[in-house]
Amino acid sequence: MDFVWESTVFAIVAFLILYWLLNKYAFGPLFSIMEQRRKLIQEQMSTAETSRKAAETSMEEQKAALEQARKEAYAIIEQARTTSTKQADEIVQSAKNEANRLKDDALKDIVSEKNKAIAALRSEVGGISVKIASKIIEKQVDEKAQEELVDQYLKEVGSK
């Protein structure tokens, strides 16, 4: 086995040519493709991250909107409840007032009727007593007593 230096030179030349050819026709394109893929993946990852964040935000927004709607509904119910309570109170109050008024009116009516009745009775009693008195007087009054009575009436009239 001899050492043939020409083979060494040829090996060096062949290796350098192979290196150049591979670099130009195989590895260069391959590396650029791998680089492209790396970029693509990075891009997709960042896109995924953004969309995840967007989804999170919209989720948050929806939650907030839901909460808001719930609060509003609650407020509306609450308001309706207070309104109805107030209205019921008002109705009860007005009914009470009306009843009081009616009662008062009735009382007043009663009082005035009573007064009227008393007055009527008094005048009736007066008339009757006068009639009774005059009947009694027709029989028992003498001259002298009649005079005294007349005087007394005159006096009364005079003092009025």
Binding residues with another protein: total (CB under 8 A): 32
Q: Is the CB of 9 or the CB of 107 nearer to another protein?
A: 9
Query: CB under 8 A: which stretch of 34-42, 56-64, 90-98, 136-144 binds another protein?
Result: 34-42
Q: How far is the CB of 46 from another protein (least distance, A)?
A: 17
**C-beta of residue 132 within 8 angstroms of C-beta of residue 140:** no
- Per CB under 8 A, does 22 bind another protein? yes
Of residues 22 and 76, the one with the C-beta less far from another protein: 22
- Percent helix / strand / coil, the chain, rounded to 5: 95, 0, 5
Q: One symbol per residue from 1 to 20: x for binding another protein (CB under 8 A), - otherwise; what is it?
A: xxxxxxxxxxxx-xxxxxx-
User: Residue 127: phi, psi to the nearest 5?
Assistant: -60, -50
Rounded Cα gap, residues 159 and 153, in angstroms:
10
CB 50, min distance to another protein, A: 21
Tokens representing residue 75 in the block: 């407020």
CA distances from residue 125 to 7, 87, 117, 132, 136 in whole angstroms, order as listed: 169, 55, 12, 10, 16
Question: Which positions lie near another protein, rule CB under 8 A?
Answer: 1-12, 14-19, 21-23, 25-27, 29-31, 33-34, 36-37, 40
